[in-house]
Chains A and B, each alone.
Chain A
Amino acid sequence: MSVFANETGAEILKAVRAPEFIFPTLLMPCAFYALFAIVLSNSGSNATYLLATYGVFAVMGPSIFGFGVGVSTERERGWLQLKRAGPAPAYAYIGAKLVTTLLFVMLALIPVYLIAGFAGGVALARGTWFALFAIHLAATVPFVLIGINLGFTLGSSGAVAISNIVFLGLAVLGGLWFPVFAFPSAMQTLATFTPSFHLAELALAVVGAPGERTSSTNALTISIMTLSLLVLSLWTWSRQKQ
């Protein structure tokens, strides 16, 4: 347990000491939300729908970049190799990164929620607030797995570039910035292959704007995607070890 506490402490210190990486991922979601849901919005209900989708967007940054860029940098610097030569448990490293990511995910989500509630006039039942928050937190898992796969496959400069593409691609295609029905039909089809799209539909259903699929279809799709990503990341991890 003390290993886990130490690893987590080290992860948090590393993150806090690189504010130039943290701040964009924390600030971008609430800045974008404030702009599109409140300043440029002409309808009150937009603020509620966009809270559902921008919440998913807020989760993506810390998850994809924290693991994608973080793991590939530490792998490339030989730090992971040194840990592996010693008796450092792998679960503590991954677990500590996950806890740190969840912490920053919350730090990214809370301002968006505060803006929604106080400036956007979003009014939800207490249970709905919590259900939405739970879905947003759970969204961390598939995005972290995407980050792990990038981190164990790419070199550090490649990881920065590809993480950005994946991050922006999933945000746009998943309909997190603009609703998917505004897309041409080919892009609409493509959207259904992204986890961000199904997570956004799940969140939208909670706030009373369900898509054409049932929530259980969304949840099942997300589960299958998450499981596949998990299998893939176990494979990339074991390939590391050889």
Chain B
Amino acid sequence: MKTELEKPALISRKLTHRFGDKVALNSLDLSIPSSGVTALLGANGAGKTTLINCALGLCKPSSGSITVFGRTPGEIDTKHLVGVMLQDSNLPDLLTAREQIELFRSYYRHPLSSDEVIVRCDLGHFVDQRYKKLSGGQKRRVQFALAIIGQPKIVFLDEPTTGLDIGARKIVWNTINELSDSGTAVVLSTHYLEEAESLADHTIVMHQGELVANDSTNNIRAMASGAVIRCETRLDINSLLAINHVQAAQIVGRKTEIRTDNATASLRLLLQADSNLSNLTVSKSSLEDAFIQLSQSQDTGQTQHRDTPTGENQ
């Protein structure tokens, strides 16, 4: 990738957004490269949608700044550079896909031809049906068509595959890859780790309005590739941390939780160190879990237990 040499597509500085008392984005500093796919990964309430809405000019930051290709979001010239698929956005039921495409085409200065969009999004066999009659996956593909019709330089996709079955999801993934290959920057928000892994060159992890990690997806996957060992042991935290590959350890009730980047190696040493070790389980850590813990250990200098919902892989 050559992204290092290019100017970023999106830059935010101390971007903060509040809804009443609730802080949706907390002093976010980040940049998004102008090519490739960037995933915004995080649970509900992480601030992904608010970030996208700020980038579109749909919500004004409470403080801080955000620019898209150096321009202010929401200005007419910026809007011509941006395509979007919003999370809760339904098109008029009574218009056909083709009619919606023709209408949206007329908003842009240099739009693609309708026929090209229909081919690229594979709308051919339902393009003349009313929107109401389409399946969930077909509706998303029509929305996707509207996102790319204006030949934008950056496309924001807010949870493009939420609620779709695997087949429909794969079709959307293919279209996203093709879009990225054609040189358009793609920003997609998701709470599916697998989606970030299979699509994104770059992943931004968010949690409760804060930036947790911003790196290449490969690095992030590597950082989160570890496992969590749970067991009852007489070893204290310090001697656990001294074991090879152990990254963090904490005591939760009677059990000890040990995070490691190499479960096999750590386990071998652990069993040597405590022959009475019992109630052993080993589980793969989820990306989000790993980063929540990571961010907290950065904040406080020690690990703590925290109740966060796992099971993001549905």
Contacts and interface: CB of A to CB of B under 8 A. Distances in A.
Question: Looking at chain B, what size class is its interface with the partner chain?
Answer: 20 to 34
B92 A79 contact: yes
A85 B201 CA distance: 25
A36 B146 CA distance: 50
A201 interface: no
B94 A78 contact: no
B86 A3 contact: no
B103 A7 contact: yes
B52 to A, nearest CB: 9
B60 A79 contact: no
A127 interface: no
A84 interface: yes
Contacts of B103: 6-7, 9-10
Interface string B175-187: 0000000000000
A5 B288 CA distance: 48
A242 interface: yes
A232 B67 CA distance: 33
Interface in A78-106: 78-79, 81-89
Contact of A74 (B60, B86, B92): B92
Contacts, number: 72
A7 B91 CA distance: 14
A185 interface: no
Given A3-B106, A7-B103, A13-B99, A84 B58 contact: yes
A9 B146 CA distance: 18
Contact of B150 (A7, A81, A82, A87): A87
B150 A86 contact: yes
Given A2-B106, A17-B94, A86-B79, A78 B86 contact: yes
Contact of B79 (A3, A79, A85): A85
B84 A85 contact: yes
A238 B241 CA distance: 57
A69 to B, nearest CB: 13
Nearest to B85: A82
A3 B57 CA distance: 22
Nearest to A3: B106
Interface in B71-106: 76, 79-80, 82-84, 86, 88-92, 94-95, 99, 102-104, 106
Judged by DSSP, the binding face of B is loop
Judged by DSSP, the binding face of A is helix
Given A14-B95, A87-B108, A88-B107, A6 B102 contact: yes
B86 A85 contact: yes
Contact of B60 (A3, A10, A85, A242): A242
A22 B3 CA distance: 54
A6 B106 contact: yes
Contacts of A14: 92, 94-95
A18 interface: yes
A88 B57 CA distance: 14
A94 to B, nearest CB: 15
Contacts of A2: 106
A87 B107 CA distance: 6
Contacts of A7: 103, 106
23 contacts: A6-B102, A9-B103, A13-B94, A13-B99, A74-B92, A78-B86, A79-B89, A81-B58, A81-B89, A82-B84, A82-B86, A82-B89, A83-B107, A85-B57, A85-B58, A85-B79, A86-B104, A86-B107, A86-B146, A87-B108, A88-B104, A88-B107, A242-B59
Interface of B: 56-60, 76, 79-80, 82-84, 86, 88-92, 94-95, 99, 102-104, 106-108, 130, 146, 150
User: Ordered nearest first, which 4 A-B pairs have the shortest CB separation?
Assistant: A78-B89, A77-B90, A87-B79, A17-B94
